[in-house]
Amino acid sequence: MDAFLADVRYGLRLLRKSPGFSAVAVLTLALGIGANTAIFSVIDALLIRPLPYADPDRVVMVWEDASQAGFRRNTPAPGNYNDWVRLNRSFSAIAATRAPRESSRAASNARQ
Protein backbone atom coordinates (compact mmCIF):
# COMPACT_ATOMS: atom_id res chain seq x y z
CA MET A 1 0.00 0.00 0.00
CA ASP A 2 2.91 2.34 0.72
CA ALA A 3 4.28 1.80 -2.78
CA PHE A 4 0.89 2.66 -4.27
CA LEU A 5 0.66 5.91 -2.30
CA ALA A 6 4.22 6.80 -3.32
CA ASP A 7 3.30 6.20 -6.98
CA VAL A 8 0.21 8.41 -6.64
CA ARG A 9 2.25 11.21 -5.07
CA TYR A 10 4.85 10.90 -7.82
CA GLY A 11 2.17 11.03 -10.50
CA LEU A 12 0.57 14.11 -8.95
CA ARG A 13 3.98 15.85 -8.81
CA LEU A 14 4.54 15.14 -12.50
CA LEU A 15 1.09 16.44 -13.40
CA ARG A 16 1.71 19.60 -11.37
CA LYS A 17 4.95 20.23 -13.29
CA SER A 18 3.17 20.22 -16.67
CA PRO A 19 -0.26 21.86 -16.33
CA GLY A 20 -0.91 21.88 -20.11
CA PHE A 21 -0.54 18.14 -20.36
CA SER A 22 -2.62 17.72 -17.22
CA ALA A 23 -5.47 19.78 -18.67
CA VAL A 24 -5.42 17.83 -21.93
CA ALA A 25 -5.33 14.51 -20.06
CA VAL A 26 -8.25 15.48 -17.80
CA LEU A 27 -10.33 16.79 -20.74
CA THR A 28 -9.63 13.64 -22.74
CA LEU A 29 -10.70 11.45 -19.86
CA ALA A 30 -13.82 13.57 -19.27
CA LEU A 31 -14.84 13.38 -22.94
CA GLY A 32 -14.17 9.65 -23.10
CA ILE A 33 -16.14 8.91 -19.94
CA GLY A 34 -18.99 11.20 -21.03
CA ALA A 35 -19.21 9.66 -24.50
CA ASN A 36 -19.08 6.15 -23.08
CA THR A 37 -21.87 6.98 -20.63
CA ALA A 38 -24.05 8.51 -23.34
CA ILE A 39 -23.60 5.57 -25.71
CA PHE A 40 -24.26 3.03 -22.97
CA SER A 41 -27.39 4.91 -21.90
CA VAL A 42 -28.78 4.77 -25.45
CA ILE A 43 -27.89 1.10 -25.88
CA ASP A 44 -29.35 0.29 -22.48
CA ALA A 45 -32.62 2.08 -23.25
CA LEU A 46 -33.00 0.66 -26.77
CA LEU A 47 -31.51 -2.82 -26.66
CA ILE A 48 -31.05 -4.09 -23.12
CA ARG A 49 -34.20 -3.03 -21.26
CA PRO A 50 -37.48 -4.49 -22.45
CA LEU A 51 -40.09 -2.18 -23.93
CA PRO A 52 -42.66 -0.88 -21.42
CA TYR A 53 -45.46 -2.96 -22.97
CA ALA A 54 -47.05 -6.20 -21.85
CA ASP A 55 -45.99 -8.15 -24.97
CA PRO A 56 -43.27 -6.16 -26.74
CA ASP A 57 -42.78 -8.85 -29.37
CA ARG A 58 -46.35 -8.26 -30.56
CA VAL A 59 -45.93 -4.52 -31.25
CA VAL A 60 -46.13 -3.74 -34.98
CA MET A 61 -46.03 -0.62 -37.10
CA VAL A 62 -48.61 -0.14 -39.84
CA TRP A 63 -48.21 2.38 -42.65
CA GLU A 64 -50.57 3.82 -45.17
CA ASP A 65 -49.48 3.22 -48.78
CA ALA A 66 -49.69 6.43 -50.81
CA SER A 67 -47.32 5.39 -53.60
CA GLN A 68 -49.33 7.31 -56.19
CA ALA A 69 -48.51 10.51 -54.28
CA GLY A 70 -44.85 9.52 -53.85
CA PHE A 71 -45.11 8.30 -50.25
CA ARG A 72 -44.60 4.54 -49.91
CA ARG A 73 -44.77 4.60 -46.14
CA ASN A 74 -47.06 7.41 -45.17
CA THR A 75 -48.58 8.15 -41.78
CA PRO A 76 -52.35 7.97 -42.10
CA ALA A 77 -54.57 11.00 -42.10
CA PRO A 78 -56.59 11.43 -38.88
CA GLY A 79 -59.79 10.34 -40.63
CA ASN A 80 -58.15 7.18 -41.96
CA TYR A 81 -56.74 6.42 -38.51
CA ASN A 82 -60.21 6.79 -36.97
CA ASP A 83 -61.57 4.39 -39.59
CA TRP A 84 -58.81 1.90 -38.81
CA VAL A 85 -59.67 2.04 -35.11
CA ARG A 86 -63.40 1.67 -35.80
CA LEU A 87 -63.01 -1.21 -38.28
CA ASN A 88 -60.19 -3.01 -36.44
CA ARG A 89 -60.62 -6.79 -36.19
CA SER A 90 -56.96 -7.87 -36.19
CA PHE A 91 -55.25 -5.96 -33.36
CA SER A 92 -56.01 -5.76 -29.66
CA ALA A 93 -55.39 -1.99 -29.76
CA ILE A 94 -54.26 0.68 -32.20
CA ALA A 95 -52.35 3.85 -31.35
CA ALA A 96 -50.98 6.65 -33.48
CA THR A 97 -47.81 8.68 -33.25
CA ARG A 98 -45.94 11.14 -35.40
CA ALA A 99 -42.40 12.39 -35.62
CA PRO A 100 -41.74 15.77 -34.07
CA ARG A 101 -41.72 18.59 -36.56
CA GLU A 102 -38.97 21.14 -36.73
CA SER A 103 -39.83 24.60 -35.54
CA SER A 104 -40.73 27.22 -38.08
CA ARG A 105 -37.76 29.28 -36.90
CA ALA A 106 -35.34 26.46 -37.75
CA ALA A 107 -37.05 25.95 -41.11
CA SER A 108 -36.82 29.64 -41.96
CA ASN A 109 -33.11 29.67 -41.08
CA ALA A 110 -32.51 26.65 -43.34
CA ARG A 111 -34.07 28.40 -46.34
CA GLN A 112 -31.87 31.47 -46.08
CA dist., res. 78 & res. 107, Å (int): 24
pLDDT tens, residue by residue, 57-84: 888 888 888 788 777 777 788 898 899 9
96 in Cβ contact with 81 (< 8 Å): yes
- Helix (H/G/I), strand (E/B), else coil: 5: helix
| Nearest CA among 99, 92, 98 for reference residue 53 | 92
**pTM above threshold 0.95:** no
Dihedral of alpha carbons 83, 84, 90, 94, sign: negative
pLDDT tens, residue by residue, 8-51: 999 899 989 999 999 999 999 999 999 999 999 999 988 888 77
Neighbours of 15 (CB within 10 A): 14
